[in-house]
Amino acid sequence: MRKALALSLLVAFGVQAEAASALKVERVFVLMRHGVRAPIDGEAPAGTLTARPLPQWPVAAEELTPHGAKAVAVEAELDRAWLKGEGLLSGACPAPGAVRVWTNSVSRTIATGEAYAAAFAPGCGLSVGHKELGAADPLFEPMRAPDSTFDPVKAVASINAYTGGLDALAKRHTAQIRELDKLLGCGRAEGCSPQPPSVLRPSSDGKGLDVNGAIRTTSGTAQVLVLLYAEGLAGKGTEWPAITPAALKSVGALHAALFDIFSRPPYMAAHQAGPVSQALESFITSNDAPVFNLLVGHDTNVTALAGLLGLKLASPGYATGDVAPGGALWIEMIANKKGQHFLRFFNRTQTPQQLRDLSRHDTHTRLLMPGCATGPDRSCPVESFKRILGEHIAAGN
C-alpha cells in the first residue's frame, strides 16, 4: 500500500513538474512600491516618546535616499537578468516598446523609477513616464480623481465588517504594541506611542475618511523602524541596536494592520485597486503589450491589488500582509504548448537585511489566487481570472 501510494505521488509530481516545464513566460506585469525613503512628516506621530532621538536622515522627508536608490538598482539588475534568462529580453538594450515604466507623480516614486530604469538598461535611455509632479494620477490615487465614486459611508461599513471595528483590531495587536514600546524604550508604563480613541468616520468634506486610534499611531512608527534599519541608521553598531530583523518582523504586523483599514476590506480594495486591476486586465488581453510592464507606486497600491485578488502577501523578513520597500507584486502571463494562457503570482522582495547590505539577492514568494489556482503549476487561467476579478470588483461596490 505504501509503495503504491509513494508511486502515485511520484507520478503526480512528475506530471506536475512536466506541466510546469512546458510553460513559457510571455509577459510580466509588476506593481512595485518605491524604495527606501525618509519618513513622511508625522509618520512617527507627534507625542511618540523614545529613549533617545531618532537618527537624522540624509534627505528631506518622503524622499528616496541615495542608499534606497542603490537598492532599487540592485533589484533592477536582478530583474533584468531573470527576464533575459527567460528569453524575454536580448541584447544590450530592450527593443523599442518591449519595456514600459510608469510611476506615480510624487518625487519618491519618480526617483525610484529613474533609478530602476538606469540600472535595468544602462545607457539605453529607457524612459520613465509619469504625470506632472504633484498631479493626481488616478491609477495610483483613484480617490483623488475628479470623477471618483468613492462613498465614505460604504467604506466605513466595509472596514468595520472586515476588522470587527478598530478597537478589536488594536486588541488583536496588543503584543506587537508592547514590543514596539520596548524598542522605543521610553520607559513609560502606559506606553511610548500616543493612544487616542479609535475614530473611523467620513471626513468633513465627504470625500475621504478620518481614521485614528492605536493602529493608526503605531503603524507609522513601526514602518519608520524598518526604514531606519534598511538605511543602516539602526541596528547593530548604531545607537539603536535593539532594532533587529526579528523585532522588525514582529512590530511590522502593526504596519500590515493599517492595510486592514485602507486596502483589504472589499469596498476599499475595489476602489483603491480598481484602476490598476483594469491596467492589468488590459495588459494580459492586449496584442501589443510590452513584455515587461512596471508600475511604481506605494504600499497601498500593492496591498489593495493583493486584497482585491485574494492574494495573501508573505515574504521572508516581513510580517504577513506587509510590503517591503521596493517590494512588488510580480505577475507572469504564461502559455502552455497549446497556446492557452495562465497567470502566476509572486511577491518579489528583499529582506531588511538585504536592503541594508545592498545584497545581490531577492526572493520571489509564490502566491496563489483563491478559486483560480486550477491551471498547470497551480496557475490561474486567464479567462477564470477575468471572471473572478469582475466578481470581486462588483462585490466591493
Q: How confident is the prediction along the chain (397 residues), in pLDDT tens digits per residue?
A: 434 444 444 444 444 554 566 899 999 999 999 999 999 999 999 999 999 999 999 999 999 999 999 999 999 999 999 999 999 999 999 999 999 999 999 999 999 999 999 999 999 999 999 999 999 999 999 988 888 899 999 999 999 999 999 999 999 999 999 999 999 999 999 999 999 999 999 999 888 999 999 999 999 999 999 999 999 999 999 999 999 999 999 999 999 999 999 999 999 999 999 999 999 999 999 999 999 999 999 999 999 999 999 999 999 999 999 999 999 999 999 999 999 999 999 999 999 999 999 999 999 999 999 999 999 999 999 999 999 999 999 988 8
Determine contact, residues 198/168, Cβ cutoff 8 Å.
no
Residue 143: alpha-carbon gap to chain centroid: 19
280 Cβ neighbours under 8 A, 6+ residues apart? 29, 305, 331
How many whole angstroms separate alpha carbon 395 and alpha carbon 389? 10
Measured CA to CA in angstroms, residue 75 lies from 29, 80, 332 at distances of 15, 9, 17
DSSP, collapsed to helix, strand or coil, labels residue 5 as: helix
CA atoms within 13 A on the CB side of 310: 16
Record the cell numbers describing residue 16, joined without a space: 506536475
25-151+263-396 CATH, one of 3.40.1360.10, 3.40.50.1240, 3.40.50.720, 1.10.3720.10: 3.40.50.1240
Position 190, amino acid: E
Give 131-175 as a DSSP string: PSTT---TTT-GGGSTT----HHHHHHHHHHHHS-HHHHHHTTHH
Per the listing, cell 508511486 goes with 7
DSSP, collapsed to helix, strand or coil, labels residue 377 as: helix
Selection from 74, 190, 236, 185 nearest residue 228 by Cα: 236
Which one-letter DSSP state was computed for residue 206?
Answer: S
Helix, strand and coil percent figures for the chain, each rounded to 5: 45, 15, 40
Which one-letter DSSP state was computed for residue 335?
Answer: E
Record the cell numbers describing residue 344, joined without a space: 502566476
pLDDT of residue 15: 41
Record the cell numbers describing residue 83, joined without a space: 527576464
pLDDT of residue 22: 85
What is the residue extent of each domain of the chain?
25-151+263-396
Record the cell numbers describing residue 277, joined without a space: 486591476
How many whole angstroms separate alpha carbon 328 and alpha carbon 386? 21
Strands 380-381 and 341-349: antiparallel
Measured CA to CA in angstroms, residue 197 lies from 188, 200, 212, 215, 363 at distances of 19, 10, 7, 11, 39
Alpha helices in the chain (DSSP H): 2-21, 66-85, 107-120, 152-163, 166-171, 174-184, 214-231, 245-262, 266-285, 299-309, 352-357, 382-396
The interaxial angle of helices 152-163 and 245-262, nearest 10 deg, is 130
pLDDT of residue 3: 45
